[in-house]
Chain A
Amino acid sequence: MSKEVRIKRGLNLKLKGKAEKQIHSIGAPSVYALLPIDFPGLTPKMLVKEGDEVRAGQPVFCDKRDERIVYCAPVSGEVASIDRGPKRIIEAVRILPDSEQKYEEVPNWPAQGKKEEVQQWLMACGAWPFVRQRPYAVVADPAQTPKSIHISCFNSAPLAADLEFALHSMEGLFAAGVEVLKKLTPGKIHLNVDGSEATPRFISETKGVEVNRFFGPHPASNIGVQIHHLDPLNKGEVVWYVQPQDVVLIGRLANEHRYETERTAAVCGSGVDKPHYVKARIGAQLLPLLHNNLKPGKQRVISGDVLTGRKAGSEGFLGTYHAQVTVIPEGDQPEFFGWLSLDPKKFSISRTLFAWLNPNKEYELDTNMHGEERAFVVSGEYEKVFPFDLYPVPLIKAIMAEDIDRMERLGIYEVAEEDFALCEVVCTSKLPLQETVRHGLDLVRKEMM
């Protein structure tokens, strides 16, 4: 049965610079990069050398633990460099794109096959990394069988790309992608949609799935929240999830036999002159996407949204799971008695400022921390934006103490760093929660392997 879920606790952070629903054509990026950092817990093993020619969809590196899982070039071209950081960690594999795209041959998908064959096919054509799992929020482990697969068909994060717009007229490809995913689980496929909007058109051709309606503020679109409310995870269970744009990618592999990572991404935020949409492939250099469109002053370019995105720097790249580039001003100036200021430009969920007077106001927030890190003092704060039946503060403390048994008992399997993003925003003590949760997940995962 399809369900309706009402999320009460959360926060819609309203920011200036929502992308206008128009796709602007942009100059072709001159360089692409595949970043292992997009895949937490991954130790990559290189499959190409500098100077090699690659096609779009050709493996570039694989997972050292399971070499069947390969990560593919988003474009055809020449491997320009393999950047290494401290301890020779691979930071980026740069590819100079060809002017004419050449695609790796993709075999027909085993429509009559069993789970293993379909998995083989997905892994062979490089689409496996788009299938992720909870617990841990990492690329799915093909050895396991998920009890269900969830697809969050909306995005409530600040300024997120409107999926209905981004997936316009892709209902056939989406349905094809879901057909492939159906083979992977004996359980159900859940399409979770925004209950306050009309059912998205891109799921209209998809049959044989559960459509669940979610109401309420962000993080209603977070996959962890949805799984928690529909099909909560217990120890030993796994749920897989795929983003809608990636479902289309899988559908395209099945129908059109090519690995095409192009997606519709929002270029948004108060640091952008004209927020709009662009077509871009994953790994695209962000600078060309923002060409002639940045406001003056020091800006932070983020691949993803302001809650969970990655600071991209001046020469950043579009993340594998991102369909959004947000630009907001850097707030690196000290502020004279800033803790007393009642500046209406500031935002606070508490009523110590006047944000509550005008709940629909759009803010132009910068990256300032507005204070220093402190020990936990205020209580009951995270609960206001954390729609899980879990206790966030004891869980964070258990992670800080690296007490794996306690983390398990407090429900670490059900959360990922993104679920703590709003807690991190509202935290009076300015604690690095997402970093902490990722650390906890890595610890537990290591223990289990």
Chain B
Amino acid sequence: MKAARSFFDSVRPHFEKGGKWEKFYPAYDAFETFAFVPGHTAHSGAHVRDAIDLKRTMVTVIFAMIPCLLFGMYNVGLQHFRALGQPDAAFLDMFLFGALKVMPMVVVSYAVGLGIEFAFAIVKKHSINEGYLVSGMLIPLIMPVDIPLWMVAVSTVFAVVIGKEVFGGTGMNILNPALTARAFAFFAYPSWMSGDKVWVNTSGGTVVDGYSGSTILGNLAVTGKAGVGYADWSMAEMVIGTIPGSIGETSKIAVAIGAFILLWTGIASWRIMLMSALGALSMGLIFNAFSGIVPSPEMQGYLGIPFWQHLIIGSWAFATVFMATDPVSGAQTNTGKLWYGFLIGFFGIMIRVFNPAYPEGMMLAILLMNVFAPLIDHYVIEANVRKRLKRVQPVPAKA
């Protein structure tokens, strides 16, 4: 610690005004404040401050995502070995196989994203924000395992530059950066982002007969049934997460651990999570009610799945816990959060079922509601303003 302190103290002059690397001060500052919370004292206003800062907030979210990341690594390996007909491979082999697939994506996402953040900070001479620490972890977790690394990199560039920096950086963006990356990849490289070939890595062997790497949502959209035979995926597997899907989203248990951390620490909004669940369940109930009157048997099957199953298939859980609750792109008033969360769940399930081009609707629902969040807040705030204006009553003139 002392050594680190003296190291920073010794190189600091080079980065300060007049030093040879003066331009790179934001980069230096980012590293120094990463290692040491500065000894700044309150100079105006309250003299004592809460120990929370943006770094602590962001690192809490990252901790909450670690169960998803670890399970995702294991599941990548598990799906791989299952597809090759070796479901009895050792746990460690599966985990290592997955780790070798996932870690490069994490590294690429962080390297590219942070590189751009540093560059913007240096050019615009502002300090580097911690926001990307979370986005950088989310991006690999919501990609299919077989996506090439360069696509991850390009999507990240798009998300950080167009999704965030052009609006002024962390805190100013309109859309969730990680979902912007995913949406970009989805529309730019659709064959790498959907279908039944991308969710399971089958390299280095031949797949077993009759194997399909399709996801539950993919199956439902085509056949109205969850599995190739419905029994293929048991309820338990959907909850535990040993199913094909994007890397980090399959395990509802891992997501639940993350949700618990976020809710317990108070970092994420319970209003958004709860209402997203209610929204999804309402849509599911509506579908159940109408499943009898649609003509096609596939649609009948899809509309007819028990309404609550929508919460454990697909990425509803992951998207609700980690993406909908992004405080910057979401609604910011407490009342607004209720509507925002509800509509995300509602539209997410609607898009998922009705639009065969998008087997999962959560990404589009959240991006859509990101756009509408300021409008929701506007009406909530205006209602409050009107309430105050109504209070004004003509007062009889007094001497």
B-contacting residues of A (Cβ < 8 Å)?
Answer: 13, 15, 145, 186, 232, 234-235, 237, 300, 302, 306-309, 311, 326, 328, 330-340, 346-353, 365-372, 374-380, 383, 389-391, 393-394, 409-411, 417, 421-422, 424-430, 432-435
Tell whether, in the assembled complex, residue A351 and residue B265 are in contact, meaning their CB atoms are under 8 Å apart. yes
Tell whether, in the assembled complex, residue B392 and residue A334 are in contact, meaning their CB atoms are under 8 Å apart. no
Residues of A within 8 A of B35 (CB): 336-337
Given the contacts A374-B54, A428-B54, A336 and B47 also touching, CB distance less than 8 Å:
no
Residues of B within 8 A of A145 (CB): 398
Docked Cα-Cα span, A337 to B5, in Å, equals: 11
The listed residue (B33, B50, B171, B391) touching A347 by CB distance below 8 A is B50
Tell whether, in the assembled complex, residue B40 and residue A379 are in contact, meaning their CB atoms are under 8 Å apart. no
Residues of B within 8 A of A15 (CB): 48
Tell whether, in the assembled complex, residue B39 and residue A331 are in contact, meaning their CB atoms are under 8 Å apart. yes
- CB A230 to nearest CB in B, in angstroms, measures 13
Question: Can you name 25 A-B residue pairings with CB atoms under 8 Å?
Answer: A300-B41, A308-B46, A326-B47, A328-B47, A332-B40, A335-B37, A336-B36, A352-B60, A367-B41, A367-B48, A368-B49, A371-B37, A371-B49, A371-B54, A372-B33, A372-B40, A375-B129, A375-B170, A379-B269, A410-B385, A424-B45, A424-B46, A424-B49, A434-B45, A434-B46
**What 0/1 readout, one digit per residue, does chain B (143-182) give for beta carbons within 8 Å of chain A?**
0000000000000000000000000111110000000000
Docked Cα-Cα span, A219 to B389, in Å, equals: 25
Residues of B within 8 A of A378 (CB): 54, 57, 267, 327
Tell whether, in the assembled complex, residue A349 and residue B50 are in contact, meaning their CB atoms are under 8 Å apart. yes
Docked Cα-Cα span, A380 to B50, in Å, equals: 15
Tell whether, in the assembled complex, residue B48 and residue A328 are in contact, meaning their CB atoms are under 8 Å apart. yes
Tell whether, in the assembled complex, residue B37 and residue A421 are in contact, meaning their CB atoms are under 8 Å apart. no
**Chain A residue with the shortest CB-CB distance to B53:** A371
Docked Cα-Cα span, A237 to B377, in Å, equals: 28
Tell whether, in the assembled complex, residue A425 and residue B48 are in contact, meaning their CB atoms are under 8 Å apart. yes
Tell whether, in the assembled complex, residue A346 and residue B47 are in contact, meaning their CB atoms are under 8 Å apart. no
Given the contacts A234-B388, A339-B55, A374-B170, A332 and B39 also touching, CB distance less than 8 Å:
yes
The number of residues on chain B lying at the interface, defined by a beta carbon within 8 Å of a beta carbon of chain A, is 61
Given contacts A307-B46, A331-B39, A428-B52, 10 further A-B contacts (CB under 8 A): A350-B52, A368-B39, A370-B37, A370-B51, A379-B333, A380-B269, A410-B385, A417-B45, A428-B57, A432-B45
The listed residue (A309, A333, A350, A379) touching B50 by CB distance below 8 A is A350
Residues of A within 8 A of B55 (CB): 339, 371
Tell whether, in the assembled complex, residue B33 and residue A348 are in contact, meaning their CB atoms are under 8 Å apart. no
Residues of B within 8 A of A353 (CB): 51-52
Residues of A within 8 A of B264 (CB): 351
Residues of A within 8 A of B1 (CB): 336
Within 8 Å of chain A (Cβ to Cβ): is B328? yes
Given the contacts A339-B55, A371-B37, A378-B57, A425 and B49 also touching, CB distance less than 8 Å:
yes
Tell whether, in the assembled complex, residue A339 and residue B170 are in contact, meaning their CB atoms are under 8 Å apart. no
- CB B328 to nearest CB in A, in angstroms, measures 6
Tell whether, in the assembled complex, residue B333 and residue A391 are in contact, meaning their CB atoms are under 8 Å apart. yes
The listed residue (A352, A370, A391) touching B49 by CB distance below 8 A is A370
- CB B262 to nearest CB in A, in angstroms, measures 10
User: Which residues of chain B from 27 to 76 have any CB-CB distance to chain A below 8 Å in the complex?
Assistant: 33, 35-57, 59-60
Within 8 Å of chain A (Cβ to Cβ): is B266? yes
Residues of B within 8 A of A351 (CB): 264-266
**Chain B residue with the shortest CB-CB distance to A237:** B395
Docked Cα-Cα span, A357 to B281, in Å, equals: 35
Docked Cα-Cα span, A427 to B53, in Å, equals: 8
Residues of A within 8 A of B33 (CB): 372
The listed residue (A326, A340, A369, A380) touching B327 by CB distance below 8 A is A380
Tell whether, in the assembled complex, residue B384 and residue A389 are in contact, meaning their CB atoms are under 8 Å apart. yes
Interface of B, secondary structure class, is loop
Within 8 Å of chain A (Cβ to Cβ): is B357? no
Tell whether, in the assembled complex, residue B53 and residue A365 are in contact, meaning their CB atoms are under 8 Å apart. no
Given the contacts A234-B392, A352-B52, A369 and B42 also touching, CB distance less than 8 Å:
yes
User: Which residues of chain B from 238 to 280 have any CB-CB distance to chain A below 8 Å in the complex?
Assistant: 264-267, 269
**Chain B residue with the shortest CB-CB distance to A307:** B46
Within 8 Å of chain A (Cβ to Cβ): is B334? yes
Tell whether, in the assembled complex, residue B37 and residue A377 are in contact, meaning their CB atoms are under 8 Å apart. no
- CB B378 to nearest CB in A, in angstroms, measures 9
Residues of B within 8 A of A367 (CB): 41-42, 47-48
Within 8 Å of chain A (Cβ to Cβ): is B4? yes
Tell whether, in the assembled complex, residue B171 and residue A377 are in contact, meaning their CB atoms are under 8 Å apart. yes
Within 8 Å of chain A (Cβ to Cβ): is B381? yes
Within 8 Å of chain A (Cβ to Cβ): is B223? no
Within 8 Å of chain A (Cβ to Cβ): is B361? no
User: Which residues of chain B from 361 to 399 have any CB-CB distance to chain A below 8 Å in the complex?
Assistant: 377, 381, 384-385, 387-389, 391-392, 395, 398
Tell whether, in the assembled complex, residue A309 and residue B47 are in contact, meaning their CB atoms are under 8 Å apart. yes
Within 8 Å of chain A (Cβ to Cβ): is B131? yes
Docked Cα-Cα span, A410 to B378, in Å, equals: 12
Residues of A within 8 A of B388 (CB): 232, 234, 409, 411
Residues of A within 8 A of B60 (CB): 352
Tell whether, in the assembled complex, residue A375 and residue B53 are in contact, meaning their CB atoms are under 8 Å apart. no
Tell whether, in the assembled complex, residue A430 and residue B381 are in contact, meaning their CB atoms are under 8 Å apart. no
Tell whether, in the assembled complex, residue B46 and residue A394 are in contact, meaning their CB atoms are under 8 Å apart. no
- CB B354 to nearest CB in A, in angstroms, measures 31
Tell whether, in the assembled complex, residue B330 and residue A379 are in contact, meaning their CB atoms are under 8 Å apart. yes
User: Which residues of chain B from 315 to 341 have any CB-CB distance to chain A below 8 Å in the complex?
Assistant: 327-328, 330, 332-334, 337
Docked Cα-Cα span, A302 to B387, in Å, equals: 39
- CB B16 to nearest CB in A, in angstroms, measures 16
Docked Cα-Cα span, A139 to B266, in Å, equals: 40
Tell whether, in the assembled complex, residue B265 and residue A306 are in contact, meaning their CB atoms are under 8 Å apart. no
Tell whether, in the assembled complex, residue B381 and residue A334 are in contact, meaning their CB atoms are under 8 Å apart. no
Q: Which of A15, A300, A348, A393 has the most CB of B within 10 A?
A: A348
Tell whether, in the assembled complex, residue B45 and residue A421 are in contact, meaning their CB atoms are under 8 Å apart. yes
- CB B332 to nearest CB in A, in angstroms, measures 4
Tell whether, in the assembled complex, residue A435 and residue B54 are in contact, meaning their CB atoms are under 8 Å apart. no
Tell whether, in the assembled complex, residue A348 and residue B169 are in contact, meaning their CB atoms are under 8 Å apart. no
The listed residue (A352, A369, A426) touching B41 by CB distance below 8 A is A369
Docked Cα-Cα span, A324 to B130, in Å, equals: 39
**Chain B residue with the shortest CB-CB distance to A368:** B41
Within 8 Å of chain A (Cβ to Cβ): is B127? yes
- CB B150 to nearest CB in A, in angstroms, measures 30
Docked Cα-Cα span, A302 to B5, in Å, equals: 31
